[in-house]
Amino acid sequence: MEGKKKRLLVLYASQTGNAMDAAERVGREAEHGGCPSVEVLSMDHFDPNSLPNESAIVFVVSTTGQGDPPDSMKVFWRFLLRRNLGCSWLEGLHYAVFGLGDSGYQKYNFAAKKLDKRLQDLGARSIIEKGLGDDQHPSGYEGALDPWLMSLWKTLNHINPILLPEMSEILHPTMRKLEHPKFKIVYHASTEATQHDSHISDLKDVKNMIERARSMSPSLHGHDHGEPHYLLKMVKNEQLTKGDDGRNVRQFILEALASVIEYQVGDVLDVLPGQNSASVDAFVKRCKLDPDSYITIEPWSGEKDSLDEYVNGSSDHPIQLRTFISRAMDIASASPRRYFFEVMSYYASAEHEKEKLQYFASPEGRDDLYQYNQKEHRTVLEVLEDFSSVELPFEWLVQLVPPLKKRSFSISSSPLAHPNQVHLTVSVVSSVTPFKRNRYGLCSSWLAGLDPKKDGEVLVPSWIQRGTLPIPPPMVPLILIGPGTGCAPFKAFIEERAMQNLVEPTAPILFFFGCRTRDTDFLYKDFWLAQSSDEGVLSEKKGGGFYVAFSREQERKVYVQHKIREESARVWRLLDGGAAIYLAGSSTKMPADVTEALEEVVAKENCVSRESAARWLKTIEKAGRFNIETWS
Enter the pTM of the model: 0.90
List all residues 6 or more positions away from 604 whose beta carbon is below 8 Å from its beta carbon: 568
Q: Is 407 annotated as a binding residue?
A: yes
Residue 174 pLDDT class (50, 70, 90 cuts): low
619 is in an annotated binding site: no
Give the residue among 227, 401, 230, 428 at the shortest CA–CA distance from 325: 401
CA angle 342, 377, 237 (to 5 degrees): 140
Q: What is the CATH number of the domain that holds 544?
A: 3.40.50.80
Tell me: is residue 561 an annotated ligand-binding position. yes
Tell me the backbone φ, ψ of residue 468, rounded to 5 degrees: -85, -10
Quick one: which of 460, 419, 412 has its CA closest to 262? 419
The mean pLDDT of the chain is 90
Quote the domain boundaries for residue 482.
478-631
Does the annotation place 251 within a ligand binding site? no
Across 441-550, the runs of DSSP E, i.e. the strands, are: 459-465, 478-481, 509-515, 545-550
Average pLDDT over residues 466-474: 92
Indicate which CATH number applies to the domain containing 27.
Answer: 3.40.50.360
- 536 annotated ligand-binding residue: no
Q: Could you give the CA distance from residue 618 to residue 620 in angstroms, rounded to a whole number? A: 6
540-545: Cβ within 8 A, 24+ apart: 542/506, 542/508, 543/477, 543/507, 543/508, 544/508, 544/509, 544/510, 544/511, 545/510, 545/511, 545/570
User: Any known ligand binding at 444?
Assistant: yes
Whether residue 32 is contained in a domain is answered as yes
Q: Which of 175, 194, 215 is the last residue of a domain?
A: 175
Is 230 within the bounds of a domain? Answer: no
Residue 15 is assigned to a ligand binding site: yes
pLDDT for residue 259 is more than 80: no
Mean pLDDT of 272-296: 96
Question: Exposed e or buried b for every residue in 423-458, given b needs 16+ CB within 10 A?
Answer: bbbbbbeeeeeeeeeebebbbbbbbbeeebeeeeeb
200: pLDDT strictly greater than 70: no
Is 53 assigned a ligand-binding role in the annotation? Answer: no
> Is 135 a known ligand-binding residue?
yes
Residue 244 lies in a domain: no
456 lies in some domain = no
CA distances to 52, 78, 587 from 71, rounded to whole Å, are: 23, 12, 18
**Which pLDDT score, from 0 to 100, does residue 225 have?**
55
Question: Would you give the distance in Å from CA 383 to the centre of its chain?
Answer: 23
Domain boundary among 156, 175, 194: 175
496 in Cβ contact with 417 (< 8 Å): yes
Average pLDDT over residues 319-343: 95
Phi and psi at residue 247, to the nearest 5°: -80, 135
* 631 annotated as belonging to a binding site for a ligand: yes
Q: Say whether 17 counts as a known binding-site residue.
A: yes
Tell me whether residue 405 is annotated as binding: no
Q: Would you say 560 is a known binding-site residue?
A: yes
Q: Annotated binding residue at 124?
A: no
Q: How far apart are CA 179 and CA 26, in angstroms?
A: 15
Please indicate, yes or no, if residue 222 is contained in any of the structural domains: no
Q: Would you place residue 4 in the very low, low, confident or very high pLDDT band (cuts 50, 70, 90)?
A: confident
* pLDDT confidence of residue 287: 97
Number of domains making up the chain: 2
Where is average pLDDT lowest: 185-199, 453-467, 475-489?
Answer: 185-199
* Mean pLDDT within 533-549: 94
Contact, 218 vs 182, CB < 8 A? yes
Percent of the chain with pLDDT over 70: 93
**Last residue of a domain, which of 111, 142, 175?**
175
593 labelled ligand-binding: yes
Q: What was the pLDDT predicted at 191?
A: 62
Confirm or deny that 443 is annotated as ligand binding: yes
β-bridge partners, 478: 509, 580
Q: Is 16 annotated as a binding residue?
A: yes
Interval 78-125: pLDDT, tens: 999 999 999 999 999 999 999 999 887 778 999 999 999 999 999 999
Residue 552 assigned to a binding site = yes
19 is in an annotated binding site: yes
**Residue 442 is labelled as binding a ligand:** yes
Mean pLDDT score, 422-440: 94
**Is 149 part of any domain?**
yes
Q: Tell me the pLDDT tens digit for each residue of 295-318.
A: 999 988 655 444 444 444 445 689
Give the count of beta carbons closer than 10 Å to the beta carbon of residue 83: 5
Task: Check the CA dihedral 470-471-477-478 and report its sign.
Answer: positive
42 annotated binding-site participant: no
Nearest C-alpha neighbor of 124 from the set 59, 36, 44: 59
Give the burial string for 286-308 (b: 16+ CB within 10 Å, else e). Answer: bbebebebbbbbbbeeeeeeeee
Q: Could you give the angle at the alpha carbon of 375 between the alpha carbons of 370 and 381, nearest 5°?
A: 90
Interval 248-261 mean pLDDT: 92
| 139 annotated ligand-binding residue | no
Residue 332 in any domain: the answer is no
Tell me if 294 is assigned to some domain. Answer: no
- pLDDT at position 316, please? 64
